[in-house]
Structure 1
Amino acid sequence: MRPDVYYIVASVELGNTTTKCILTATNLNTSRTYLLDETVKMTRDIRPPKEGEEVFGKTVWGVELTKESVSELVRDTIHESLRRAKVDIEKDLDFVVRSTGVTAGFGSPEEVGKLIIALADGCLAAGIPPRKMAPALSIENIPKRLRDFSYLDRVIFDGAVASVIPPTGREVVANEMEGELVTAGIKVGSKWTTVDYRNPCVSLDFGTTLAGRIVNSDEPYARTIGNFCGLAGAISDAIIRGTEMVDCRGGAALDLYKKSVLKGANWKKARKHAEMIHDEIIDIRKVPVNRKRFGTVPVDTEAAYSAGTTLIGCDAGKNGDKLQKLTEVGHDIYQEDGIHTLFATLDHVSALIVKRLIDEAFDEGVIEEGSVLGVTGRAGITGTKPKLILENVGDRFKDCIFVSDALALGAAVMARCMNSMGTPHTPLGGRQNGPCILGMRRKLQSKKEDKWIE
């Protein structure tokens, strides 16, 4: 047995509701990932723009962002996380992966580009060297202690993460990277369970916005044949603002959530409230061909459908125009039945969103038989949501798994894939119950062609 070596990765995430730096350490012998630190800031607390700064975009809730303000928030969050975990940038930290879900509220690729630059600037301002944010070009560029675990001299990084390739050359939903990372993250999270969450699989990320993928069982690289997009936690946040106990613009359900909040809830009433909300406000369907946005999230339906990728979205009205109506409904429920039943309503609302998304996907025929469902995100795994989700869709899948912070776990996988650090004896990629795909990848990449992935 080789001695255990740990690969330490920082996942820097700028979200609509929270901004995080999550440090993980992956045992390269077992492929198990451990949480070192999770530092969370509320994105709404980002400083307002200073005179002369250009506002290049806003969050879903209208919080204005500048390159400088984003960079400062990211820098401070990274510093706090590293300090708390006692991780040294030069000696301990191996890689940094940046991601954002805020792109959902943006209007153009240029705005998204400015945000990506601001994230990178924040990492550089925190003292992260550029080499720790880009894949190694050869095995010699990898630290000596990690070289025994890298297969970079046999296979190169060709864009596939945990054996799944994106839908097309063009991004079909603005938060495509989130879907990619959470799918990989749920795979690594499953290593702590008896569930084999490999292909075919379905992932759902219930952050403020909805992300996720439907993946088939092709080998060596599975294809993304479905994408989820639209609103998720934003629906719960809009309802909770009706209590007037949270900020009317940036307030979130997690501001009030605690384990005891469901004690004394009237679950029958909560179910009825949730059904009414779904009947009157929440729109879940295959995204129509002519739509440029669904649930505020920019989508490219032409690219998706020409590539054979189905887009399934969740909205409140049209592009969130009924979010205010949700706040009014939340106010009425709170006044009549109290905070406990209101939170129980949120659990039912989320569970019914999952049910309708999955029903739509099955109706479209894009979920393969034997698929495993993975759920992550605050609006999908807190309270009694896992129990209610299992009651609604558990019988439609071979297995279901709920994973906390799958985005950060996926960042650790992305970092390893970029540097060809696999664990062939306990693979993340390939089919359920199948072997590692290293041999198939080598065979594919040995072809003298310009590209291996069609």
Structure 2
Amino acid sequence: MALKPRIAESPQVRLIDLKSKPFFIVASVEVGNTTTKCILTATNMDTGRTHIINKIVRMTRDVRPPKSGEVIFGRTLTGVELTRESVAELVKGTLTESLEKASLDIKTDLNFVVRSTGVVAGFDSPEEVGEFIKALADGCLLAGVPPKNMTPPMSISNISKKLQKYSKLEKVIFDGAVAGVVPPIGSTGVEIVANEMEGELATAGIKEAAKLTDVDFRNPCISIDFGTTLDGRITSPDLPYAKTIGNFCGYAGAIPDAIIRGSKIVDARVGTALEVFEKQKPPSFLTLKLKAKAIEEYEKRIHELIIIEKVPADRKRYGSVPVRPDAAEEIGVTLIGCDVGENGSNMGKLSAIGLEICKSHGLPIVYAVIDEVMARVVCRLIEVAKKEGLIFEDTTIGITGRAGITGNKPKLILSCLENMNLAPKIDERVVFVDDGLARGAAVMARCMNSLGIPQQPLGGRHGGKCILAQRMKMQEK
């Protein structure tokens, strides 16, 4: 029987329902290396179902240049310079456009805003990401978001009246766990990887989206987010909270971006695969059959340049992402990285191969090679996790991000995982999710406000019940 990818897709929601029914409306604002997004989500507190209202996407490279006197505190992977002021303006414009498009009022209709960033390549340490988060907050405030809508409430009276009856704030407080998983923080409070928050949100978002499928994506699980940079988590089966026992870091979407830049179809410095393949149809079955040998050979050549491994203890940066392997080892977390050479030193070779493919076979075969390459990246990441003893008998796998769910990648990934003999009926244990990070922002906002839905639990183990009672008992102690 053919493998069937489980792809989570949200139904639409009407404006009249958003205004009249108990919807918890959250804006996820993310400034990434390639795109800056504001994604509005609405969770119906009666059903636990989250709907995506709209998505505003801008290219981060279009951020205005630094003005005289502004401090450049970071750069994207393609070298675009960022200041606190320029990021704030970009965020303000994106958030404002999103609310206006949805015909919602930023002060009265929006319940919460969660900010995150995937721009970590230009930072020297994980701690410096905090400065970027402040810039995101500045942009939200400039757009008119009340400060109380960006921090956990002190009491139930700080929650919107129509949502107060759904909050469990008087029973449990927000203690840092999101969707039943505690974050990996070293004994000194140091983050072990710069884009840890992205991994946290992606994990939570996949858990929420999986509710739209027949996959029970609770703990233990593996989440992999293939934005421009790689992030994600591996969780344990512990109760009431799972531990983070693995983290992913390095390059993801940056790999197909480098390949497509060699084709000269996009800007050689800041162009992305996203620009090309949004308009390009996947290659036909006949084309794939006729060119199968060439596709396989190019895929092998590219993977000879890609390193996927447990991050060595002496690395301070892996795939351009600041990391702390020493702090990770101290708390029992395994960092798994994806690099192209050392911190992208072989990206130029990927571009050269991209040019060769395009000249010899055309754009459809570039598309096919990228699909094969990224599917193999997934399997190599899982192979390392398995070797490190991080996969349990009932571990499920969730994948999100443009470089992991587009084109023919879901089918190729399932086929590859099936060959690894991880579990029977592997397609029943893998879910593909669009906008996992934004969905995770909605989940984090709900956790901060203790807006749990016991009938639709996100925490706990596969097939298990809600962990509310266990959390109450633990917090009483």
Question: Of the candidates 422, 425, 432, which is equivalent to residue 396 of structure 1?
Answer: 422
Name the aligned partner's letter for residue 214 of structure 1. I
SS at match of 2:313: coil
Measured after TM superposition, the shift of residue 110 of structure 1 is 6.0
- Residue equivalent to 1:268: 293
Question: Of the candidates 161, 170, 176, which is equivalent to residue 153 of structure 1?
Answer: 170
- Residue equivalent to 1:411: 441
Instruction: Judge conservation of contact 1:259–1:383 (CA < 8 Å) in 2.
Output: no
Question: Of the candidates 185, 194, 208, which is equivalent to residue 214 of structure 2?
Answer: 194
- Residue equivalent to 1:326: 350
Measured after TM superposition, the shift of residue 108 of structure 1 is 3.4
- Residue equivalent to 2:245: 225
Instruction: Judge conservation of contact 1:104–1:174 (CA < 8 Å) in 2.
Output: no
Name the aligned partner's letter for residue 48 of structure 1. P
- CA distance 1:79–1:183, shift in 2 (3 Å): same
Name the aligned partner's letter for residue 127 of structure 1. G
Cα deviation per residue 1:377-409 (whole Å; 9 max; x = unaligned)?
000000000000001114425500000000000
Q: Supply the distance in 1 between the matched residues of 2:126 and 2:318 (Cα, whole angstroms).
A: 16
- Residue equivalent to 1:112: 129
Q: Supply the distance in 2 between the matched residues of 1:342 and 1:7 (Cα, whole angstroms).
A: 42
Measured after TM superposition, the shift of residue 259 of structure 1 is 5.1
SS at match of 2:262: helix
- What is the correspondence of 1:284-323 to structure 2 with a 5 Å cutoff? 284-323=308-347
Matched, 1:423 2:449: no
Question: Of the candidates 272, 287, 290, which is equivalent to residue 252 of structure 1?
Answer: 272
Q: Supply the distance in 2 between the matched residues of 1:381 and 1:278 (Cα, whole angstroms).
A: 19
Q: Supply the distance in 1 between the matched residues of 2:219 and 2:125 (Cα, whole angstroms).
A: 33
- CA distance 1:201–1:304, shift in 2 (3 Å): same
Measured after TM superposition, the shift of residue 341 of structure 1 is 0.3
SS at match of 2:238: coil
Structure 1: segments with no counterpart, 5+ residues: 448-454
Q: Supply the distance in 1 between the matched residues of 2:69 and 2:404 (Cα, whole angstroms).
A: 40
SS at match of 2:74: strand
Measured after TM superposition, the shift of residue 252 of structure 1 is 0.4
Q: Supply the distance in 2 between the matched residues of 1:166 and 1:425 (Cα, whole angstroms).
A: 25
- Give the stretch that moved more between structures: 385-394 or 152-161: 385-394
Name the aligned partner's letter for residue 278 of structure 1. H
- Residue equivalent to 1:439: 469
Instruction: Judge conservation of contact 2:27–2:112 (CA < 8 Å) in 1.
Output: yes
- Residue equivalent to 1:277: 302
Q: Supply the distance in 2 between the matched residues of 1:364 and 1:113 (Cα, whole angstroms).
A: 31
SS at match of 2:362: helix
Matched, 1:183 2:203: yes
Instruction: Judge conservation of contact 1:267–1:341 (CA < 8 Å) in 2.
Output: no
Question: Of the candidates 237, 250, 256, which is equivalent to residue 236 of structure 1?
Answer: 256
Instruction: Judge conservation of contact 1:182–1:410 (CA < 8 Å) in 2.
Output: yes
- Residue equivalent to 1:382: 406
SS at match of 2:231: strand
Instruction: Judge conservation of contact 1:57–1:65 (CA < 8 Å) in 2.
Output: yes
Measured after TM superposition, the shift of residue 157 of structure 1 is 0.2
Q: Supply the distance in 2 between the matched residues of 1:66 and 1:341 (Cα, whole angstroms).
A: 39
- Residue equivalent to 2:10: none
Q: Which of structure 1's runs of 4+ aligned residues deviate more than 2 A?
A: 108-114, 261-268
Instruction: Judge conservation of contact 2:126–2:195 (CA < 8 Å) in 1.
Output: no
Q: Supply the distance in 2 between the matched residues of 1:63 and 1:104 (Cα, whole angstroms).
A: 11
- Residue equivalent to 1:350: 374
Question: Of the candidates 20, 23, 34, which is equivalent to residue 17 of structure 1?
Answer: 34
Cα deviation per residue 1:297-346 (whole Å; 9 max; x = unaligned)?
11111110111111110000001111111111111111111100011000
- Give the stretch that moved more between structures: 263-272 or 72-81: 263-272
- CA distance 1:78–1:442, shift in 2 (3 Å): same
- Residue equivalent to 2:25: 8
- Residue equivalent to 1:451: none
Q: Supply the distance in 1 between the matched residues of 2:24 and 2:194 (Cα, whole angstroms).
A: 29
Q: Supply the distance in 2 between the matched residues of 1:271 and 1:5 (Cα, whole angstroms).
A: 52
In the alignment of these two chains, the number of paired residues is 444
SS at match of 1:56: strand
Matched, 1:49 2:75: no
- Residue equivalent to 2:57: 40
Q: Structure 1 length as normaliser, TM-score?
A: 0.96
Measured after TM superposition, the shift of residue 268 of structure 1 is 3.4
Question: Of the candidates 375, 394, 418, which is equivalent to residue 370 of structure 1?
Answer: 394
Q: Supply the distance in 2 between the matched residues of 1:138 and 1:93 (Cα, whole angstroms).
A: 19
Q: Supply the distance in 2 between the matched residues of 1:366 and 1:410 (Cα, whole angstroms).
A: 23
Measured after TM superposition, the shift of residue 5 of structure 1 is 1.2
Measured after TM superposition, the shift of residue 109 of structure 1 is 4.9
Matched, 1:84 2:101: yes
SS at match of 2:342: coil
Say what the alpha-carbon RMSD is for the aligned residues: 1.3
Q: Supply the distance in 2 between the matched residues of 1:105 and 1:362 (Cα, whole angstroms).
A: 31
Name the aligned partner's letter for residue 325 of structure 1. K
SS at match of 2:139: helix
Measured after TM superposition, the shift of residue 112 of structure 1 is 2.2
Measured after TM superposition, the shift of residue 30 of structure 1 is 1.7
Q: Supply the distance in 2 between the matched residues of 1:132 and 1:184 (Cα, whole angstroms).
A: 20
Q: Supply the distance in 1 between the matched residues of 2:293 and 2:439 (Cα, whole angstroms).
A: 36
Q: Supply the distance in 2 between the matched residues of 1:27 and 1:393 (Cα, whole angstroms).
A: 35
SS at match of 1:396: coil
Matched, 1:215 2:235: yes
SS at match of 1:349: helix
Structure 2: segments with no counterpart, 5+ residues: 1-19
Q: Supply the distance in 2 between the matched residues of 1:189 and 1:329 (Cα, whole angstroms).
A: 36
Q: Supply the distance in 1 between the matched residues of 2:320 and 2:240 (Cα, whole angstroms).
A: 35
Instruction: Judge conservation of contact 1:7–1:28 (CA < 8 Å) in 2.
Output: yes
- Residue equivalent to 1:450: none
Q: Supply the distance in 1 between the matched residues of 2:240 and 2:280 (Cα, whole angstroms).
A: 43
SS at match of 1:68: helix
